Structure 1
């Protein structure tokens, strides 16, 4: 089922929200330790994906070209500015916290490499591991957000499922446009490149680094172009 990962993601957000309603305050030490545990698991998932590469040069060039494009476009900065703008727009007079909870949670859950990579994996390979891992993270984050922003967090389920589901469904059609041999190579190298981005997310969760992962997202696209050039010159 192509949409399984997206649906599980939405369900975990709903569960996390309802559990969060029963808590008014979570001790900081619990949150910190749990996030560290999640970060370690995310690093492991990313490494497993990254080690699948058969052409390390393709992964390297994809990351480098993606980083250049991402930095040139200031993707991380623009996404942060978008979030700030939307939050400011939502803080109108007399408005309840439902809007703020919905917007804040949606930005956190939708914007990120795991959503894109996970949805592509679901569509291309029928592998929902990344999205299910993301679901667990989002469920915990939803729990924490609900304790401060309220029930509005649950409504973020809608954009999350639509966003990830759309990417997954579009990914299933890629095989109709590309030769099978190239597609298989693309899936392997895209998975490996995405795995490195997931490792970066895990390191950020562990607070070991402050990698601008959003600025590396174009590498998921450039891997296709790099692979074409690589195969042309090698073959």
Structure 2
């Protein structure tokens, strides 16, 4: 298992570098580059959405998954985790972020999806688990190495905490790939990609400050979409 370690290291190094640079980084770069990353997320989302095979189960998974996410308060749980991480890090190192608490929590949820649940990370982990090829995750690592410092320059060392959920998700996908992929079909994977694309599109809107979509609450849809796609293709 190489990819998850490389990606985690890149995210951590980039986050620490960005936190150390902090206010020394050009103000225009700090404010404008997240908009670029948001646009990139939207573009990636569109590219993933067009792969859809059966639109109905994808929409149904998003609705049901988001409803489950709202019922269990998934976004609130993530925000509480983010708030505690921020407070803990502030005790260890002086805070250099310039965001108020609400703005910080909103951005934290968005970048958690961006770093931990992007299509590249999901497919890269599963591909390495099945073939042993870490190329996709190494490519993602290069992107994260340059993306993380920008967010960390305004959000501080708290961005480095995302290494934990990122490594956990990628490791589970890596070890579960040999069990999951044989049970899937190309159509199921296409619908999974489309579902993830919609979430990435919503994440881009959120990062750009256009609309605060409940992206964390939409995460359970990724679990529901493949079974629903299979049921749709089999029975309907």
Structure 2 length-normalised TM: 0.74
Matched ranges for 1:105-184 at <5 A: 111-112=112-113, 114-118=115-119, 119-125=121-127, 127-128=136-137, 133-146=143-156, 156=161, 159=164, 162-175=167-180, 178=183, 182-184=184-186
> 1:4 maps to which residue?
3
Query: Could you tell which deviates more after superposition, 185-194 or 129-138?
Result: 129-138
Residues 141 and 222 of structure 1, relative CA distance in 2, 3 Å threshold: same
CA drift of 1:64 comes to: 1.1
> 2:132 maps to which residue?
none
Equivalent residue for 1:97, pick from 76, 93, 99:
93
CA drift of 1:78 comes to: 1.9
Query: Could you tell which deviates more after superposition, 135-144 or 63-72?
Result: 135-144
> 2:201 maps to which residue?
199
CA distance in 1, matches of 2:23, 2:118: 34
CA drift of 1:48 comes to: 0.3
Is the Cα–Cα contact under 8 Å of residues 113 and 213 in structure 1 kept in the other structure? no
CA distance in 1, matches of 2:204, 2:229: 26
Residues 3 and 198 of structure 1, relative CA distance in 2, 3 Å threshold: farther
Is the Cα–Cα contact under 8 Å of residues 9 and 161 in structure 1 kept in the other structure? yes
Matched ranges for 1:67-82 at <5 A: 67-82=66-81
Counterpart secondary structure, 1:215: coil
CA distance in 2, matches of 1:53, 1:81: 34
Structure 1 length-normalised TM: 0.75
Query: Could you tell which deviates more after superposition, 200-209 or 162-171?
Result: 162-171
List gaps (5 residues or longer) in structure 1: none
Q: Alignment length, in residue pairs?
A: 219
List gaps (5 residues or longer) in structure 2: 98-103, 129-135
Is the Cα–Cα contact under 8 Å of residues 16 and 139 in structure 1 kept in the other structure? yes
CA drift of 1:4 comes to: 2.6
CA distance in 1, matches of 2:219, 2:208: 20
